[in-house]
Amino acid sequence: MNKVSIINEIDEMLNTYCEGCFVKKQIRKEQGKTAAHRFCISDCTVGSQLQFLGNELNKTATKDK
């Protein structure tokens, strides 16, 4: 994968799944912003995929140097 395609995939995922996410909104309302962020990073499958893509993006950045 190249840098542009990874960024496009991240954008698409954020727009499709994260914009207006009910679960995040509910956790933020009940437990606060930090808890909602923690959920997205550690428990959400979309968050896991975004982390994977971020790591792939970092790999392409180090290859460019």
pLDDT confidence of residue 65: 64
> What letter would DSSP give residue 18?
I
47 pLDDT higher than 90: yes
pLDDT digits (tens, 9 = 90+) for 16-39: 999 999 999 999 999 999 999 999
Helices (H), the chain: 3-13, 22-31, 33-42, 45-64
1 pLDDT higher than 90: no
pLDDT confidence of residue 44: 97
